[in-house]
Structure 1
Amino acid sequence: MTKWIAGTFRTTDLVLSKGGKLPEAELAYIHTGELAADGSNVVLVTHGYTTGHHFVMPGSLAAEGSWSELVGPGRAIDTDRFFVVSTNALGSCYGSSGPASIDPTTGAAYGDSFPRVTITDTVRLQRVFLESMGVTSLYAIAGPSMGGIQAFQWGVQYPDWTDRLVVAVSGFESPARQGTTERGAFAEKIRAEPGWDGGRPGKGAIVPWLVQLRLHTLREYCMDEALRDQGLSDEDVDARLNELAHQWAEGFHPWSLVSLGQAIGDYGVSDQLSRIKARVLLALCDNDRIFPASRGPELVHQLKAADVNVRFVKIPSRYGHLASGLDWQLWDRELREFLA
């Protein structure tokens, strides 16, 4: 069984790309494996939008696909060989600085006053953290969904730091559906919910709304299909989806949806692809409604036009945005070869 060590890295006065700074910036992390003496065996694993850095561990509720079958001794991301680090993104609510964190200037939770953060800021903090551990380069960066976005951002932001980018169910531009107007309307909808209280909701008043939002996300990501394939009846599928939705809603801060959504909406590196020096493994799913595999050839063409060494893998799964984790066997061999 893989033994993960958890911790929180702290620094002060983190300058943010949208202006301002975080007087106290925290980055939650877990790691496993042994760091090589020359630091040459580090793999950074990055998580999706609505989950956290524990998505690499068994029992994760990751809607973007748990990677517990891909990370571990003898697995594709082999913890007997690699020193594997997984970090929680800025703006999230699983230990890193975000809306649920305490604002040192007020002594209360930031709520919707949490400063605007970007994928660039998260990557910058990840690098500061890794440097504090004595790491000077990365063997690979890997992740699904927003995790893949972080991998591409690493590739353009710190091109000399990594040899390989593993990008699953993701791309180098924000999904088209995350427009500025829609994100603003979403933020206002959250503020209008009962019990919002400036982003410091109490007594679970907003939980029912979060449950319904999560149910929509789980179905969009094809979780219902995965449960039916486990032999569950439609009634049992509905019950299990409700259980998963409630578990998530009880622990996820609603304004993190806005903070991370804004970071994803601000993201886009298509004009910087020529900065990438790393090799890229791009794994997309036929049935993904967010980053469909049908876009693969176009993305590969753009990467090759920028002189990026890229390999494209189509995951022939029915599980859409969950495919990289639920159907890990369908691209495990390609991932192993890429990391070999």
Structure 2
Amino acid sequence: MATIRPLLFLLWCWLLLPAVGQAQSRYPTPVEGDFSLPQFRFESGETLPALNQHYTTVGQPRKDKAGKVVNAVLIMHGTTGSGQAFLSELFANHLFGPGQLLDAAKYYLILPDAIGHGKSSKPSNGLRMQFPKYTYNDMVLANYRLLTEKLNVAHARLVMGTSMGGMETWVWGYKYPDFMDALMPLASLPVEIAGRNRMLRKMAIDLIKMDPAWQGGNYTTQPQTGLTGAISSLLFMTSSPKQMQKLAPTRELAEAALAKSQARFLGSLDANDFIYQFDASRTYNPAPHLAAIKAPLLAINSADDQVNPPELGIMETEIKKVPKGRYVLLPITDLTTGHGTHSNPSIWGEYLLEFLARTEIK
């Protein structure tokens, strides 16, 4: 039992913190880059003179005799995150190393920062609440242009993502149905964001806006009260009751863990960026388009996911609309961490292994 508690702490840190530190070791050194998209037009009709799309790559592109890249894997991150999140020890060191499932000596791994996140263009760069009201569709379009126009990738071996990135994966599937060999959305549902999910997002946004210190987005210091309230929604959505109880079985430990998590979030989040990030899902709804997805699709959720609770029964219905779709619901175990299970390949890696083998083009 002595090894269980440190492991729980590692999983808990991954679940709650924007980043737990990078542990690049056995895979090639990641390379960062930027791609400027001039006069980028958003779904809202708004434009930016130049949209910066930041990205990280690991590995090198491999081309066939016709000069086409054949080994690209696109991996998209969750809300408030960035592509750098996938360079954590928990994720990269279980996937990107020699002989591992997404061995960077074999695959060309592409980790973009979504619009409004990381080092890509976002409200906090200067426009604040005048920044275009972007959506997941805008994120997918920017990534598509990054791959096709900057990285010369016309076809992907695999498109996958976690949480928000999982939802983007569904959008990729019907927006660009011939672009990939396989799709793997993790911790997501292919339906409109509604019910408790939308309520929690709306509450988080409203709590920031109700703080007088927000000043309509023109604050000089972060609106601490509003952001703290918004973080409450984020913690509830992404946490695991079982792991929280194990980590903090007393009142003192629980309050100390909460204080630490709040402090880390308050030190990294921007209020306007947060509002945009949580509201970007407002037009998301793949449900009417699922029959248009051509590539094999493997959807994986965890039974203790508070964002996508299995008792809703949504995935069981919607996956039937995907011609080559399959759904795996991971049972609750001592290792699952609620919504954050999406970033622990030691739990779902066996399914990825089988999926890659099944979708290999001979």
Fold equivalence (TM over 0.5):
yes
Out of 126, 139, 143, the position equivalent to 1:122 is 139
Q: Give 1:76 deviation, angstroms.
A: 3.0
Q: How many residue pairs align between the two structures? A: 322
Sequence identity percentage: 23
1:302 matched residue in structure 2: 318
Out of 283, 300, 307, the position equivalent to 2:300 is 283
2:163 matched residue in structure 1: 145
SS in 2 for 1:332: helix
Q: Give 1:234 deviation, angstroms.
A: 5.1
Which string of whole-angstrom CA distances, capped at 9 and with x for unpartnered residues, describes residues 65-123 of structure 1?
x634553213333223211111111123x11111112xxxxxxx111111111111111
Q: Which amino acid aligns with 2:54?
A: A
2:91 matched residue in structure 1: 67
Which string of whole-angstrom CA distances, capped at 9 and with x for unpartnered residues, describes residues 115-141 of structure 1?
111111111111111121111111111
After TM superposition, the structure 1 stretch with the greater mean CA deviation from structure 2, 222-231 or 17-26, is 222-231
* Mapping 1:53-64, distance limit 5 Å: 53-58=83-88
1:174 matched residue in structure 2: 192
Out of 278, 281, 284, the position equivalent to 1:261 is 278
Which string of whole-angstrom CA distances, capped at 9 and with x for unpartnered residues, describes residues 163-204 of structure 1?
111111101123323788886665454233243244243234
Asked if the contact 2:208–2:271 (Cα under 8 Å) also holds between the matched residues in 1, the reply is yes
Unaligned runs of 5+ in 2: 1-24, 358-362
Relative to 1, partners in 2 of residues 1:76 and 1:226: Cα closer, same or farther, differing over 3 Å? farther
Q: Does 1:98 align with 2:122?
A: yes
2:41 matched residue in structure 1: 15
Q: Does 1:24 align with 2:39?
A: no
Q: Does 1:136 align with 2:154?
A: yes
Q: Which whole-Å CA distance do the structure 2 matches of 1:86 and 1:20 have between them?
A: 26
Out of 327, 339, 342, the position equivalent to 1:312 is 327
Q: Does 1:202 align with 2:220?
A: yes
Asked if the contact 1:69–1:325 (Cα under 8 Å) also holds between the matched residues in 2, the reply is no
Asked if the contact 2:298–2:328 (Cα under 8 Å) also holds between the matched residues in 1, the reply is yes
Q: Which whole-Å CA distance do the structure 1 matches of 2:157 and 2:263 have between them?
A: 37
Q: Which whole-Å CA distance do the structure 1 matches of 2:137 and 2:339 have between them?
A: 23
Q: Which amino acid aligns with 1:76?
A: L
1:78 matched residue in structure 2: 103
2:22 matched residue in structure 1: none
2:8 matched residue in structure 1: none
Asked if the contact 1:222–1:322 (Cα under 8 Å) also holds between the matched residues in 2, the reply is yes
Which string of whole-angstrom CA distances, capped at 9 and with x for unpartnered residues, describes residues 308-331 of structure 1?
2122212113522112224x3231
Q: Which whole-Å CA distance do the structure 1 matches of 2:229 and 2:279 have between them?
A: 21
- TM-score norm. by structure 2 comes to 0.80
Relative to 1, partners in 2 of residues 1:58 and 1:229: Cα closer, same or farther, differing over 3 Å? farther
Relative to 1, partners in 2 of residues 1:20 and 1:252: Cα closer, same or farther, differing over 3 Å? same
Relative to 1, partners in 2 of residues 1:87 and 1:200: Cα closer, same or farther, differing over 3 Å? farther
Unaligned runs of 5+ in 1: 60-65, 102-108
Asked if the contact 1:67–1:324 (Cα under 8 Å) also holds between the matched residues in 2, the reply is no
Q: Give 1:209 deviation, angstroms.
A: 3.5
Out of 152, 160, 182, the position equivalent to 1:164 is 182
1:245 matched residue in structure 2: 262
Asked if the contact 2:203–2:233 (Cα under 8 Å) also holds between the matched residues in 1, the reply is no
Q: Does 1:48 align with 2:81?
A: no
2:353 matched residue in structure 1: 336
Q: Which whole-Å CA distance do the structure 2 matches of 1:312 and 1:143 have between them?
A: 15
Q: Which amino acid aligns with 2:342?
A: S
Relative to 1, partners in 2 of residues 1:218 and 1:184: Cα closer, same or farther, differing over 3 Å? closer
Relative to 1, partners in 2 of residues 1:36 and 1:117: Cα closer, same or farther, differing over 3 Å? same
RMSD after superposition: 2.6
Q: Which whole-Å CA distance do the structure 2 matches of 1:339 and 1:232 have between them?
A: 40
Q: Which whole-Å CA distance do the structure 2 matches of 1:220 and 1:279 have between them?
A: 29
After TM superposition, the structure 1 stretch with the greater mean CA deviation from structure 2, 11-20 or 69-78, is 69-78
Q: Which amino acid aligns with 2:328?
A: V
Which string of whole-angstrom CA distances, capped at 9 and with x for unpartnered residues, describes residues 30-83 of structure 1?
110121123111111111112222220227xxxxxx634553213333223211
Q: Which amino acid aligns with 1:80?
A: A
Q: Which whole-Å CA distance do the structure 2 matches of 1:232 and 1:68 have between them?
A: 31
Q: Does 1:88 align with 2:106?
A: no
After TM superposition, the structure 1 stretch with the greater mean CA deviation from structure 2, 172-181 or 252-261, is 172-181
1:62 matched residue in structure 2: none
